[in-house]
Amino acid sequence: MRIVVALGGNALLRRGETLSAAAQQAAVGDAARSFACVAAMGHQLVITHGNGPQVGLLALQSLAGPVESAMPLDILGAESEGWIGYSIELALRNALPADTTVVTLLTQTLVDGSDDAFSRPAKPIGPVYDEATAKKLAAANHWSIAPDSKGWRRVVASPEPQGILEIAVIRQLAESGTIVICAGGGGIPVQRMSDGTLAGAEAVIDKDKTSALLARQLGADLFIMLTDVAGVYLHYGTENARMIRHTSPRELATEGASFGAGSMAPKIEAACAFVRETGRSAAIGALGDLADIIIGTKGTTIAGE
Ligand code: ADP
Ligand code: MG
């Protein structure tokens, strides 16, 4: 099978841990061992990943230099693809037989410069601050900020992905048996200008949405989003919480309210978009359960109409 797997932030950094090179490599090592099992089963793997904490950290580091050296989000997104892609690639090389080919591909995702999302920044990046610190940083750096579950975070525009510039080469690599790490952080956001040229966009795209688009365009047999919960729960966070094992886009549409905006809701949207368009299955589950999710014994599988 050709499988597109999107790695959540927790695969790169366990929730609550400080972002350090050592902590990240330990988390990525766990992910790589899961992938190695799947590759050994003979499946074609295309791996995508998030970049929220990393791109936020790069933005802060970029503020340390002269004002004019602060880099826009497209460049920081490219940096984060290199950084995280390299970490995943290194861990995969350590977990896989020596003759496996692995490549990290800088990926650009086309967005529409007139997307409403540019006037409604909503995607949290970087660390969580207390309210006073967040407001001070926002005033000093012209950030938008918004409350997050445990405090306040910087928020940036997150437009809809319209296309993946490197799709043809990703397909070729996957077909040749290469494990491809691509579309990190949803891809580097670029927009088509009125003169036909491309330019970077000040945004961070949702990685689940770009991954769904990638999975559709690659004709993936299965699209999996790995995160830090065993699957999708009804009544999540209450004592009546119950994990859904199998469901369909139609059934999920009636449950919309119980899925966290900005966390589980975008995964469900991405899964349903893939399933509706391809008639194939999507799944959501925990990083360590990858092999069982593929055979359908763990996680939440979304299929049918
Ligand atoms: P990722 O980095 O993997 O994208 P997110 O934090 O965006 O992680 O999404 C996973 C989180 O979604 C879980 O840790 C959980 O707290 C939250 N969540 C919200 N609603 C639900 C739900 N109905 N079922 C399961 N998890 C949910
Ligand atoms: Mg997420």
Question: What are the tens digits of pLDDT across the range 242-264?
Answer: 999 999 999 998 876 678 887 89
**What pLDDT is attached to residue 18?**
85
The H-or-E segment that residue 156 falls in is: strand 152-156
Atom of ligand 1 nearest to the CA of 8: 3
Question: Does residue 256's CB lie within 6 angstroms of at least one atom of ligand 1?
Answer: no
Q: Is the separation of the CB atoms in 182 and 191 below 8 Å?
A: no
Instruction: Specify the residue with its C-alpha closest to ligand 1, atom 1.
Output: 8
Low-confidence ranges of the chain (pLDDT < 50): none
Q: Helix, strand or coil for residue 198? A: strand
Q: Is the CB of 258 under 6 A from ligand 1?
A: yes
pLDDT score of 220: 98
Angle at 13 between CA 10 and CA 16, to 5 degrees: 85
C-beta of residue 209 within 8 angstroms of C-beta of residue 162 = no
Nearest CA to 186 out of 247, 110, 132, 117 is that of 110
For 292, the token pair is: 């069982």
Q: Is the CB of 228 under 6 A from ligand 1?
A: yes
Report pTM: 0.95
Residue 264 Cβ inside 6 Å of ligand 1? The answer reads yes
CA of 93 from ligand 1 middle (Å) equals: 29
Residue type, 203: A
Assigned token pair, 227: 């995160």
Provide the pLDDT for residue 82.
Answer: 97
Domains of the chain as residue ranges with CATH: 2-302 (3.40.1160.10)
CA–CA distance, 155 with 265 (Å, rounded to integer):
17
Find the 91 Cα to ligand 2 centroid distance in Å.
22
Q: Where are the alpha helices (DSSP H) in the chain?
A: 9-12, 21-40, 52-62, 73-95, 131-141, 167-175, 207-217, 249-253, 264-278, 290-295
Ligand 1, residue 231: give the atom nearest the CA.
25
